[in-house]
Amino acid sequence: MLRTLSLASAAALSLTPISLAETPEGAVESLEAFLAEFPDLGPGYAVVVVTADEVLMRHVQGERRASTGAPMTTDTPIYIASQTKAYMGLLAARLDAEGILPLDSAISDYWPDLELPGELEASDWTLRDLITHQVPIDNGIIPMVEAYSTTIDPADYPRLIAEHSEAREPGFEYSNLGYNIYGAILETATGRSWQDWLDLYVIDPLGMDHTSSRTSDFALEELSWSHFWMGEDAGWHDIRPKTDGMMQSAGGLVTSVDDMAAWLQLQLRGEGPAGSSITADMVSAAQTGYVATHSEDRRNAAELPCSQYALGWNICDFEGSNFYVHGGGYTGMRTQMAFSTDLGVGVAAFSNSDNMTGWLTSRTINMYFQFLTEHETADRMRQIRIEQYPQRIERYLAYRNEQLAEMRADEQWGGWTWSPDADTLVAYTGTWSTGEPYLDINLVVEAGELVAHWGDMRIDLTPAQPDLFAGQSDPFAEIDGLQFERDASGELVRLTWGEDIYTRQ
């Protein structure tokens, strides 16, 4: 499957807009007919199309949670992952304009003792560099913990950066790290979290009542769940929505179809509604390209030449018209949003599956723009995508099952011959630590099975052979080996998980 991931590229070009060959309303009719060709599109799928002043399409179908049959609606909060960066970009532009957190201030202004790897100096890099993916460091622990486990205390960021970062080649490189660091600096500088600022300066002024950086703002059953397709016999596998602890500044928003309409209309109007205090200069600053990404080869989810990155937007070229886009991908879901001020429309697509419905989100958006401009390839691409969809679902499921079978057949598992009872499993329980608190795991027995909790993440542990367990966080996740070691007396004293060594606390 072609995974619909958030783009790592953009383009800010001086473009000559093409003339519309179809009305926006006519293109909506064509898009509705296109979507009607996918009878099994699910569990839930949604599309919204807007101009600056009208909502032309609110297409919502299917279920927000397959196992309960709860319907997807225009108010259903849906996780949008990395699209959060565009909302954070507008927030950053507003905080900059009001002098609260200047984008051209140096990282060292907030963390004067911060140590960067190699010859890098924190004084040479700005907050703008952070949220345009230009600070040349890699750090494995911060994005992983923030996205999958728990919230990191901003006071711990300098230590985690100093202890776990490596220098990389200079230049643009898309990642979550810069936005994570920006969020931590924002709280360090103001004493108020990025979530609170986003509520105060973006979400509330736009009246987006079904948008939040905290899933706890909604009842669990109100939220869209994510899903894996397991095949005709097993159907859809539900994936519980993220906890608040997993909602981070690079990918930490849920929003609804109706709220996305308001968000895209803001982009097209170029300023917030009356009384919002979101000015044209702020929106313009957020939509300005600041770094060349050199991604003109169309090898991205937009399938377009993209050359620059703004504050959370990839700026691409759609046949001579500007095309702002950002996608979002996470376990069991895919989304994408785009707008063109040249063409006067904005479109977003939501899928609560990361199977081929995820592949289709970006293609849905591209099809709308092809219909709108009566692109010469529109009819051919429409037919190809309709024909490819069921084939891709079948191939991708087969690929996932083959990968899973291959992992399970690995000789390290010893044929899966060990079947300890619940009393035996108790010996492995407790807190295990590498010495880095953010990596601590807690092992417990639940319903007769050993389970690892890493912050808010749950990992099911399957016995393989004595003192070796196979860990998986979801049915198709990579299988990790957790190998325990004993001392001379037979006591469990050490756990190896990947490259990390744990001891019992």
Q: Which residues contact 167 (CB under 8 A, 6 or more apart)?
A: 116, 117, 118, 119, 120, 136, 137, 138
CA gap 26, 6 in Å, rounded: 29
Nearest CA among 230, 222, 226 for reference residue 43: 226
Walk me through the domains of the chain, giving residue ranges and CATH numbers. Answer: 412-504 (2.40.128)
pLDDT for position 242? 98
In eight-state DSSP terms, residue 19 is: P
Give the bridge partners for 50, in sequence order: 55, 346
Q: Which residues contact 472 (CB under 8 A, 6 or more apart)?
A: 459, 460, 462, 478, 479, 480
pTM of the full predicted structure? 0.94
pLDDT for position 6? 30
Cβ atoms 319, 72 nearer than 8 A = no
CA gap 436, 422 in Å, rounded: 29
φ and ψ at 272, to 5 degrees?
-80, 170
Token pair, residue 374, equals 């009566």
Cβ atoms 143, 152 nearer than 8 A = no
Cβ atoms 251, 84 nearer than 8 A = yes
Largest CA distance in the chain: 80
H or E element at residue 448: none
Cβ atoms 182, 92 nearer than 8 A = yes
Cβ count near 2 (within 10 Å): 15
Q: Going from the first residue of the chain to its last (505 residues), give the mean pLDDT of each consecutive group of 10, the final group possibly shorter.
A: 28 41 92 93 95 98 97 98 98 98 98 97 98 97 98 98 97 97 98 98 98 98 96 94 98 98 98 98 98 87 90 96 96 96 98 85 95 95 94 93 97 96 96 97 97 98 98 95 97 96 96
Token pair, residue 101, equals 């957190």
CA gap 110, 112 in Å, rounded: 6
pLDDT for position 7? 30
Q: Which residues contact 450 (CB under 8 A, 6 or more apart)?
A: 425, 428, 429, 443, 444, 461, 463, 469
Cβ atoms 236, 230 nearer than 8 A = yes
Beta strands in 180-235 (DSSP E): 226-229
Three-state SS letters, 75-87? CCCEECHHHHHHH
Cβ atoms 360, 384 nearer than 8 A = no
Burial state string for 194-218 with b = 16 or more CB within 10 A and e = fewer than 16:
bbebbbebbbebbebebbbbbbebb
Cβ atoms 355, 52 nearer than 8 A = no
CA gap 131, 49 in Å, rounded: 28
In single-letter form, the type of residue at position 437 comes to P
Nearest CA among 250, 248, 427, 433 for reference residue 326: 250
CA neighbours within 13 Å on the CB side: how many for 33? 10
Q: What's CA 59's distance to the chain center, in Å? A: 22
